Amino acid sequence: MNTATFSRNGTPAETFVINLGPQHPATHGVLRVKLTMDGEYVMRAEPVCGYIHRMHEKMGENRTWAQFLPNTSRIDYLSAMAYTHAFVAAVERGAGIEVPPRAEYLRVITSELNRISSHLVWFGAFLLDLGGFTPLLYAFDDREQILDLLEGVTGARLTYCYYRFGGLCNDVDDDFIRGTRAFVARMQPRFKLYRQLVTENVILRKRLEGIGPISAEQCRKYGASGPVSRGSGLAYDLRRAEPYSVYPEFDFDIPVFPEGDCLARYLVRMEEMRQSLRIIEQALDKLPEGPVVAEKVPRTIKMTPGDYCFAVEAARGRFALRVVSDGTDTPYRVKLRTPSFSNLSLFEETSAGMMLPDALALMGSLDLVIPDIDR
């Protein structure tokens, strides 16, 4: 479709509209972006959501608390542990259930392993968007080690349902402890490989430095969080800003880069994986003995009537889950605040005037999971 308009220098120009997606490798799922182009330059990028809408919030209102639990890992399937953690913690808050310390430590360990595996998927797919195939093979090789560990204790490799109201479904064994320590020892030297192969690569630097700058004010305006906001100089991480579980027990840094470009968001995630390894090591060293589930958890959960919210720092940012209870075994209202939707919202403003390949680099740096948007 051609429309008469004016080019960037004010002279008459011909523009055309093309669709990026909903079935396109660069969109990482069924996201459609309606692009108004002036040659190779993006004049407007309008995200069109709803191609995979699954009505999680509505399903939460016609299922019991326990029946909705597996849904949480399907919202952001790459950060399933954190999403399940938010739901069980919200219910525990409303039902007055005390979680044993060992269960909280294991929740942190498995959530941080899941964060690393999520960042590794992003790392490999992002480089694939930019034309590099080899890093994907290294990233998925490392990720397989995590999936093997988590499969051993959860029985799943992607959509985990390991957490329970009051704790965990089962304890870990010595093989998991040894395997996790072995993974930490294996993963730490891999960052040198990634730095030499990718981070210091002049081609990557040219593709990312100064591309897609997002200001801290834009992040506040659109509610962006996670590595996107920390790549714009905002040191906001719920593990520190709104501490939950046993995160206050651990010493770790919040990576922040003020440049706000695609490279800054890349560097944040690479450093976050290092910090997750630090947290896992400390949690293994301090892991207490004891039960992994609270005593006398009722078979049928009924929360005290009220409005409850719990937020966690997922791989893509702030995930907040709000539930309203009317005292029955079914939620009265479930509201999901997901990071991918907020992070996508700034794409239209930020991509205006960029060349199409640079706009794709910007989209990749946001690390979008489409089911997290169409929830």
Q: Check residue 25 and give its pLDDT.
A: 80
Ordered strands of the 32-38 beta sheet? 2-6, 12-20, 32-38, 41-48
Q: Check residue 178 and give its pLDDT.
A: 97
How far is the C-alpha of 364 from the C-alpha of 353, rounded, in Å?
Answer: 17
pLDDT tens per residue, range 278-325: 999 999 999 999 999 999 899 899 999 999 999 999 999 999 999 999
How long a stretch of residues is the chain? Answer: 375
Nearest to 306 by CA among 334, 326, 333: 326
Residue-by-residue pLDDT tens, the chain, 375 positions: 444 455 555 555 689 999 998 888 888 889 999 999 999 999 999 999 989 888 999 999 999 999 999 999 999 999 999 999 999 999 999 999 999 999 999 999 999 999 999 999 999 999 999 989 999 999 999 999 999 999 999 999 999 999 999 999 999 999 999 999 999 999 999 999 999 999 999 999 999 999 999 999 999 999 999 999 999 999 999 999 999 999 999 999 999 999 999 999 999 999 999 999 999 999 999 999 999 999 989 989 999 999 999 999 999 999 999 999 999 999 999 999 999 999 999 999 999 999 999 999 999 999 999 999 988
Domain ranges of the chain: 56-373
State the Cα angle at 276 between 275 and 281, rounded to 5°: 100
Kindly state which CATH superfamily the domain 56-373 is placed in. Cytochrome-c3 Hydrogenase, chain B (1.10.645.10)
Angle between the 262-286 and 101-129 helix axes, to the nearest 10 degrees?
150
How far is the C-alpha of 177 from the C-alpha of 163, rounded, in Å?
Answer: 18
Report whether 225 contacts 345 (CB < 8 A).
Answer: no
pLDDT tens per residue, range 78-119: 999 999 999 999 999 999 999 999 999 999 999 999 999 999
Q: Check residue 82 and give its pLDDT.
A: 97
Alpha helices in the chain (DSSP H): 56-60, 65-68, 80-95, 101-129, 134-154, 174-194, 202-208, 216-222, 227-230, 238-241, 262-286, 339-345, 347-351, 356-365, 370-373
Q: Check residue 28 and give its pLDDT.
A: 82
